[in-house]
Amino acid sequence: MYKIDYHMHTNFSSDSDAPMEEMIKSAISKGCNEIAITDHVDFDERYDFTDYNVYIPVISELAHKYKEEIKVTFGVEIGLESLWADKINKITSDFPFDFIIGSSHAVCTKDLYFDRQEYFSGKTKEDAYSIYFKEMLKNIDTCKDFCVYGHMDFISRYGTYEDNSLHYADYEDLIDGVLRSLIEKGKGIEINTSGFRYGIDNTYPSIDILKRYKELGGEIITVGSDAHYTKDVADHSDFAYDMLSEAGFKYISVFRNRKPEFIKL
């Protein structure tokens, strides 16, 4: 099995203190064959931006230093918002990322972490979650150059309802629209295992969405821990690989120059 962890943060992200070299060593100790370093870029002014002039040479140097033990891929996680599409498209054209996760961290400029109350208050769960998927569709149409959509049903982590769970069947049309658009544009989704650390005991997204992506013809899947600490690198990766097989996938994807390469599970 070719073990990957294609989503992790280091101290280039404002919400992690982990040195990149320590994350790489942790991945080696956990038997990863390949990782992608995917520090944050979000255009909300309350986040610090990664300094690319430092980020790029540090990744290159460490990728070279550990090349006999692990493949380190140059990635980024960009918070997508159609409103910021011009800025996002400029960054993706200016810098040579091999892999880009596009994620919804904000909906209609309301950051789901900072503005949680503001976003959810006065909305039913159905409205709040529906708007999230409608905005996702706009993001996919306007932000051109990402490889996989990150933690697709992540909004269920932030809901302020008694039951925050999100079921494919309740948002079938909207989720199908998102999945069809991703497939048509040659983009994948990730299985993000951070849900096991945030109390949902499941992945983002869960298997029902994964199966639907496959049914509609989707083939591009990455697995990522979304680790911000060394201990979480490759967390629950076995669970994610089993889930992939259960959903009928035969391959996992890695990226070179933003193009997927398929590796047998």
Assigned token pair, 246: 């259960």
Nearer to Zn ion, 68 or 229 (CB): 229
Closest distance to Zn ion from the beta carbon of 5 (Å): 12
Q: Which is nearer to Zn ion, 113 or 251 (CB)?
A: 113
Q: Are 3 and 225 in contact (CB under 8 A)?
A: no
Q: Which is nearer to Zn ion, 15 or 215 (CB)?
A: 15
Task: Judge contact between 99 and 138, C-beta under 8 A.
Answer: no
Minimum Å distance from CB 47 to Zn ion? 11
How far is it between the farthest Cα atoms of the chain?
Answer: 54
Residue of this chain nearest to Zn ion (CB atom): 103
- Enter the DSSP assignment of 227: B
User: Which residue carries 């599970």 as its tokens?
Assistant: 265
Q: Least CB distance from residue 159 to Zn ion, whole Å?
A: 16
Task: For the beta carbon of residue 217, count every other beta carbon within 10 angstroms.
Answer: 10
CA 199 to chain centre: 18
Return d(Cα 203, Cα 189) in angstroms, integer: 12
Using CA atoms, how far apart are residues 8 and 10, in angstroms rounded to an integer?
7
Question: Rounded to the nearest whole angstrom, what is the least distance from the CB of residue 217 to Zn ion in the complex?
Answer: 26
On whether the CB atoms of residues 24 and 30 are closer than 8 A, the answer is no
Whichever of 98 and 226 has its CB closer to Zn ion, that residue is 226
Smallest gap from Cβ 214 to Zn ion, in A, equals: 23
Select 116 or 265, whichever has its Cβ closest to Zn ion.
116
| Interface positions with Zn ion (CB under 5 A) | 77, 103, 226
